[in-house]
Amino acid sequence: MPRLPKQNYHDIERIIEMDFLRATEAAALNSLKWLGRGDKEAADAAASDAIRGMFDLMNICGEVVIGEGIKDNAPGIFKGEQLGTWLPGTPQFDIAIDPIDGTTNISKGAPNSISCIAAASPEEGVKVALRDVPSFYMTKLSYGPRVIQYMQRRGDNLKLEAPIPETLAIVARAVDKRVQDIVVMMLDRPRHKEMVDEIRGAGASLRMIGDGDIAAAMAPAIPDSGVDLYMGIGGSPEAVLAAAESNVSAATCNAKCGRAMRKNEKNWSKRVTKKNSIEFILPTIWPTERTLSFVPPASAIARFCAASGPRAQPPSPIRF
């Protein structure tokens, strides 16, 4: 089969943004055959191959600054990898990428696997458009636009160190609900036992998920998702990608990062200290306004979200 011609971005109908979307779409479709097959690494490798193939057609100088596969030696697209043709004069992009977030989900035929790319092009005088996050795990807190608007009006503020009942009370006032009606989403991990006890003690309800915390962190910004708040400890690359989407959807994802290995996750609270952690609102880590976030378009979602179970799927990448 002959190769497709490389793209010419002087043609307005072939803009870079659409080619990024095509890359996530190709990842979704190429990994579909591994749905429910029990081989998450094969699904991840298929998605990674598809994305590399699409970038081979794109006239950009792309460098992966936040990639996957570092934590657990899984196949993937790694930090420092160059994507695109790198022809002289082509635009530069710093890229954060996760070919599949939720590989365990797709291997089991479970919902909420998603393919994500965030890219930023340096502005004049800016050397780094998208910064690496120096940790494997982050403590995260994600909430939707109604909470942001409420805090702007009333002066309330959500902090990661704040007591959970206080955080739940602010969110409840913002979305005009009782605390008992607030729904919090969180990864089902042993490290969250204390958080789970506090949330239930305050009267709020939980939705525990096995994997896929990019989709989960996006949930509070999605209308009718039924999720008011996402909190917990999860992967750093996933936090950056979720924050990029939040930056587009007017939601906010706060995070604190610390150097904690997966095998020591039970000692997380002891390892994250003021000396080895930083707290920030993730969308602020880009010193450029040209930040793009991509998930597969509806044409791919309708097929890829077969990873959510039945073949007949609604036209939405995330279902809760």
Please answer whether residues 94 and 119 qualify as being in contact, where contact means their C-beta atoms are separated by less than 8 angstroms.
Answer: yes
AA letter at 155 = G
> What is 268-312 written as a DSSP string?
HHHH--TTSEEEEEGGGG-SSS-EEEE---HHHHHHHGGGGSSS-
> At residue 218, what are phi and psi to the nearest 5 degrees?
-80, -20
Give the residue from 219, 264, 223, 265 showing the smallest Cα distance to 242.
Answer: 219
How many Cβ atoms sit within 10 Å of the Cβ of residue 136? 18
> What is 162-220 written as a DSSP string?
S-HHHHHHHHHHHTT--GGG-EEEEE--GGGHHHHHHHHHHT-EEEEESS-HHHHHHGG
Tokens of 115: 């393919």
Please answer whether residues 105 and 112 qualify as being in contact, where contact means their C-beta atoms are separated by less than 8 angstroms.
Answer: yes
pLDDT confidence bin for 37, thresholds 50/70/90: very high
Angle at 80 between CA 74 and CA 81, to 5 degrees: 70
pTM over 0.95: no
Rounded CA-CA distance 56/70 in Å is 23
Q: Please state the rounded mean pLDDT for residues 162-181.
A: 95
112 or 309, greater pLDDT: 112
AA letter at 87 = L
Kind plus residue range of the DSSP H or E element containing 110? none
Q: Indicate if the pLDDT at residue 1 is higher than 60.
A: no
Q: Please state the rounded mean pLDDT for residues 288-311.
A: 36
Kind plus residue range of the DSSP H or E element containing 148? helix 145-154
Looking at residue 305, the DSSP 8-state letter turns out to be G
Domains contained in the chain, CATH given: 12-131+291-308 (3.30.540.10), 137-285 (3.40.190.90)
Give the residue from 98, 138, 133 showing the smallest Cα distance to 232.
Answer: 138
Percent of the chain with pLDDT over 90: 39
AA letter at 308 = S
Q: Indicate if the pLDDT at residue 319 is higher than 50.
A: no
Instruction: Give me the pLDDT at residue 5, please.
Output: 55
Lowest-confidence segment of 180-194, 208-222, 254-268, 291-305 by average pLDDT? 291-305
pLDDT confidence bin for 246, thresholds 50/70/90: low
